[in-house]
Structure 1
């Protein structure tokens, strides 16, 4: 069930204006602060390769190796204190990028992505190559593009926040399993959980309406991809000024299995037991507190208030990214 925005609504305005009002210029080869999450799936062995790729692309890259216990946001601020940088490069996966958001917001510099994680969903959404040489070329030559942020209860995120099945999956998918099995880890954990999935009652408040639903999962997407290649909506983009929401209102676990091809393509909204709509803000309430999964990390609980932060950051990415 797809809800279309009314003319003159906040959603319609966002669709017309988008987030592309920030003026961007082609960057000259510059000096990059490089922060690599050595705990990411391929971080430790790829840290030196990332620095070499940036140098070969024409950038002066200075690595900052944060001490144990320092957050990625703190690493950005501490590394930039040395001065003279015109961009920040984060090497890691989606969790690392999310952790860096407060530091990137404070810095105000454009950032680049060296995809070294398990899923690399933001890189996929932006059309950034997974190969280090290709990613480095993008950081050195592409114009920085504005990118939106989603936010739930004050916690910003790039890709998707979910309540229900995927939050339970994040609980069961331990970091060591992700590092050892990669994308296969998602599938193994999901198979063990899917037959135990049970609907819960949620109240969705958005765009002047209140909807009470029985659902297995509610996902609120800022970006396009999540969970190792699943798609929140075939129309979603991380710079379109909109949140894409879907609710899986299936009664039996086998319907969830049947939905998988549609979930990968982002066309699940065409199913009668999937509620899908676009908005710029949402409040979600449940009978008891439920964890919220933001890009693979459990960061808060319901009740959850979602909002969009349009064009909050700038990222080096191809002009026409996303797959």
Structure 2
């Protein structure tokens, strides 16, 4: 049965109510809970610098160092139990931010991003500076704005979820390689995998249509950037209330290499062997279960049911037209 567009998530209201208490992002008198992923590429060495940058921007900062094994989402909940905070600051990469989603949804407070990861795709999609001082100033001064969430089989994500090539890449790209080589790690792993990429059959169900296609990857984007330099669509935004979907229906691995410049710009939809469309709900079915990559982590398998959660969270970021 074709999916119907999902209604706005009920959790959007608490986040917006929490943000309403902060008419602007002014740091005067504001108190931030700071959680740093010490395992992020720049986390351990920049934890003190991150706190100092936030204080220099005018925020009162209380850091919470989660014990070994505690998820980032649980760390948000545990840290906020101390009370008196009006925003949460997450220091880390896209995987850290993804892991924080359950706690942020529960918190009902706006959040800020200190981009300390490898790719920092969400920060780039939102126009947040990638240096500590610039990001801290945004957290202290920018009014919170809504950001959508994608959801697949109950797992939320900020940037993109996919099956096929990028999911296989996520499985091969070990965390140690990401930490050691940064964005180069993506390129090294991708080059080793691209020649082994083989098309598979997937059924796409959306907007009353059922399409059976041969593809090497289907990506369902909520944000704009992903994978350390790729772009879902050139005009995609993480707050536009839409999924940007594309399917790479290429027959030979060398065609994928030719596509790379377009994938980086987000113009791959202009190719005849790339299917691209926008929707608010989608289902992917494959003959055998395939892993689904959400923000760089394998979290579920097909069949994959997607729904959009519009304005689910509030984030301190420049306004959409600032750039």
For Structure 1 versus Structure 2, the TM-score category normalised by the shorter chain is over 0.9
What is residue 233 of structure 1 aligned with on the other side? 233
Check 1:109–1:162 CA distance in 2 against 1; reply closer, same or farther (3 A cut).
same
Residues 163-178 of structure 1: pairs in structure 2 closer than 5 A? 163-178=163-178
Deviation of 1:243 after TM superposition, in Å, equals: 0.4
What's the CA shift string for 1:44-70, capped at 9, x where partnerless?
000000000000000001100000000
Question: 1:243, 1:279 within 8 Å by CA — same for their partners in 2?
Answer: yes
Deviation of 1:10 after TM superposition, in Å, equals: 6.2
What is residue 295 of structure 2 aligned with on the other side? 295
Residues 157-236 of structure 1: pairs in structure 2 closer than 5 A? 157-236=157-236
TM normalised by structure 2 equals 0.93
Deviation of 1:28 after TM superposition, in Å, equals: 3.3
Which of the residues 25, 28, 34 maps onto 1:27?
Answer: 25
Question: 1:241, 1:280 within 8 Å by CA — same for their partners in 2?
Answer: yes
RMSD: 1.8
What is residue 3 of structure 1 aligned with on the other side? none
Question: 1:126, 1:322 within 8 Å by CA — same for their partners in 2?
Answer: no
What's the CA shift string for 1:110-142, capped at 9, x where partnerless?
000000000000000000000000000000000
Deviation of 1:235 after TM superposition, in Å, equals: 1.4
For 2:26 and 2:166, locate their aligned partners in 1 and report how far apart those are by CA, in whole Å: 41
- Secondary structure of 1:319 counterpart: coil
Check 1:285–1:143 CA distance in 2 against 1; reply closer, same or farther (3 A cut).
same
For 1:195 and 1:101, locate their aligned partners in 2 and report how far apart those are by CA, in whole Å: 35
Question: 2:5, 2:307 within 8 Å by CA — same for their partners in 1?
Answer: no
Give the paired residue count.
308
- Secondary structure of 2:313 counterpart: strand
- Secondary structure of 1:90 counterpart: strand
- Secondary structure of 1:176 counterpart: helix
For 1:162 and 1:141, locate their aligned partners in 2 and report how far apart those are by CA, in whole Å: 35
For 2:34 and 2:321, locate their aligned partners in 1 and report how far apart those are by CA, in whole Å: 23
Q: Tell me whether 1:121 sits opposite 2:117 in the alignment.
A: no
For 2:69 and 2:254, locate their aligned partners in 1 and report how far apart those are by CA, in whole Å: 42
Deviation of 1:321 after TM superposition, in Å, equals: 6.1
Deviation of 1:229 after TM superposition, in Å, equals: 1.6
- Mind listing any 5+ residue stretches in structure 1 that lack a counterpart? 1-8, 15-21
Q: Tell me whether 1:98 sits opposite 2:118 in the alignment.
A: no
What is residue 310 of structure 2 aligned with on the other side? 310
What's the CA shift string for 1:271-307, capped at 9, x where partnerless?
0000000000000000000000001000000000001
For 1:270 and 1:202, locate their aligned partners in 2 and report how far apart those are by CA, in whole Å: 21
For 1:234 and 1:265, locate their aligned partners in 2 and report how far apart those are by CA, in whole Å: 6
- Mind listing any 5+ residue stretches in structure 2 that lack a counterpart? 9-15
For 2:312 and 2:138, locate their aligned partners in 1 and report how far apart those are by CA, in whole Å: 20
What is residue 50 of structure 1 aligned with on the other side? 50
For 2:322 and 2:67, locate their aligned partners in 1 and report how far apart those are by CA, in whole Å: 34
Question: 1:125, 1:223 within 8 Å by CA — same for their partners in 2?
Answer: yes
Check 1:148–1:122 CA distance in 2 against 1; reply closer, same or farther (3 A cut).
same
- Secondary structure of 2:257 counterpart: helix
Deviation of 1:155 after TM superposition, in Å, equals: 0.1
For 1:132 and 1:291, locate their aligned partners in 2 and report how far apart those are by CA, in whole Å: 34
For 1:274 and 1:320, locate their aligned partners in 2 and report how far apart those are by CA, in whole Å: 28
- Secondary structure of 2:185 counterpart: helix
Give the ranges of 4+ consecutive aligned residues of structure 1 lying more than 2 Å apart after TM superposition.
22-25, 320-323
